Amino acid sequence: MPNRWDWAVTPYDSKHADRVAIMREIAFESTQVVEEEDEQEDMPAAVQDGRRGKALSLNMSPGGMLLLMDWRPEHEQVLRLQVPAGVQYLRTPTLAEVRWTRDVPFPGPHTLCFVGIKFLV
């Protein structure tokens, strides 16, 4: 059984040079795809609201963000985030896709995990 502290560490990569440490409360809402199609417009599946909550951002880059969450979203799940903008207390709604999750390696009564997300354009 692998140790929860054994994480693969890769050498410094210049693609991560644009990350900025930012610890802020981020409101999120998960989305769920509905398989019904609109018969009149032949529209693809719609998106409905799902779970809502708060996460803590740890770092951000133009392409994504690292979050600390008390819930493990599914891989490739889409989240609607309220991302801090340049002006204090101004938050911009943003869609993001979960790219990976990893448990925080501390025992406790609550599940905490790191969640890597990619902003959707």
Confidence of residue 89 (pLDDT cuts 50, 70, 90): low
Q: Which residue has the higher pLDDT, 58 or 85?
A: 58
Q: What percent of the chain has pLDDT over 70?
A: 65
Least confident stretch, 8-12, 30-34, 45-49, 74-78: 45-49
What was the pLDDT predicted at 66?
95
What was the pLDDT predicted at 34?
53
The residue-averaged pLDDT of 96-109 equals: 89
Alpha-carbon gap, residue 116 to 106, rounded angstroms = 19
pLDDT in tens, 29-53: 997 655 555 554 444 444 455 789 9
Distances (CA, A) of 94 to 37, 45, 72, 111: 25, 20, 19, 25
Confidence of residue 12 (pLDDT cuts 50, 70, 90): low
**Taking the mean position of all CA atoms in its chain, how far away is CA 84?**
14
What was the pLDDT predicted at 46?
45
pTM strictly above 0.95: no
Least confident stretch, 11-20, 68-77, 84-93: 84-93
